[in-house]
Amino acid sequence: MVTLIVAIVWLFLDQIIKFILPKVMSWYETLEVIPGILNISLVKNDGAAFGILAGKTWFLIPIAIIFVIYLFLQREKISKIPFAKWGAPIAAAGTLGNAIDRIFRGYVIDFIDVPFFSVFNIADIGITVGILLIAVGLYLHERDQENDTSNNPGK
């Protein structure tokens, strides 16, 4: 239940910021927050991360929906894996945040600008952190199962 609340808060935070920023900033305007390290830049991204698949919204929306459905269908298995049980809802929330943008706007709003890296948003952080947590959780789960099998050969 707590993981569901975290996912809802993550999605709400992403969407409320994307709702407010275009009302208080101009498109492609940049506000310096920490010189050389962090800016707020309001940009439209009609692709995936780093502008990959630009203009392929029709492709990215079904991929997002399939990913979220898969996580939902696997929720019982995922809930038993410590890191993954946190990663899956956060990744799903991030995926839904960007899918909502694509469906209703035709592009994703990015605004966290790290000049030496890229411009991204709260949803992107959720997707990245969530998938990382899922991967770590699955790795540790597999490792523990292999250790159980090798320590108890009759299992």
- Which of 14, 124, 144, 148 is catalytic? The answer is 124
Nearest CA-CA partner of 108 in 37, 32, 52, 31: 52
Q: Are 46 and 106 in contact (CB under 8 A)?
A: yes
Is there a catalytic annotation at residue 124?
yes
- Which of 14, 101, 110, 113 is catalytic? The answer is 110
Distance CA 125, CA 128 (A): 5
| 137 CB neighbour count, 10 Å cutoff | 20
Distance CA 59, CA 82 (A): 32
Residues taking part in catalysis: 110, 124
